């Protein structure tokens, strides 16, 4: 008649009273941080000690001029529609000039082929992610 295992059954009133009495006993005595309080120094030190923190400490590649980028293949993706556009650095220099910023070139490349057009300026276009 009842195919469910015993662990799926509703607890009895006595079991629920016992569980209710235990609520609050396992709560840690140390309270968390208030929303407006500062984070502990251990937190900040852990962030600084993380090896990934050093990888992002320099200027982002998107802020570099085309002649400063060492890679030969430039790639920009859209976080909105997941499209990826690639261009060789030589072609980008030929089309946009050596002094052009990669973030401007990447945005132009995405916007020229954007498929998300709503007619509203603040909603149109792609969201670039430079790789």
Residue 28 lies in a domain: no
- Domain count for the chain: 1
Residue 55, pLDDT score: 59
Residue 7 lies in a domain: no
Lookup result for tokens 């909603």: 123
Residue 124, pLDDT score: 66
**If you ran DSSP here, which 8-state letter would residue 10 be given?**
P
Q: Hey, is 115 helix, strand or coil?
A: coil
Q: What are phi and psi of 113, to 5 degrees?
A: -120, 20
Lookup result for tokens 């990447």: 106
Residue 46 lies in a domain: no
Q: What is the pLDDT along the chain (131 residues), one digit of tens a residue?
A: 556 666 678 888 998 888 888 776 666 566 667 777 788 888 888 888 887 766 555 567 778 899 999 899 999 888 877 888 899 999 999 999 999 999 999 888 888 776 666 666 566 667 778 77
Residue 90 belongs to domain spanning: 61-130
């Amino acid at each position: 008649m009842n195919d469910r295992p015993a662990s799926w059954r509703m607890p009895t009133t006595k079991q629920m009273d016992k569980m209710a009495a235990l609520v609050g006993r396992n709560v840690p005595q140390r309270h968390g941080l208030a929303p407006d309080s500062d984070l502990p120094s251990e937190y900040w030190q852990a962030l600084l000690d993380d090896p990934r923190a050093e990888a992002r400490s320099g200027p982002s590649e998107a802020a570099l001029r085309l002649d400063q980028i060492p890679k030969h293949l430039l790639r920009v993706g859209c976080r909105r529609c997941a499209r990826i556009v690639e261009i060789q650095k030589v072609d980008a220099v030929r089309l946009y000039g050596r002094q052009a910023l990669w973030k401007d070139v990447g945005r132009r490349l995405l916007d020229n082929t954007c498929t998300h057009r709503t007619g509203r300026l603040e909603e149109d276009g792609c969201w670039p992610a430079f790789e």
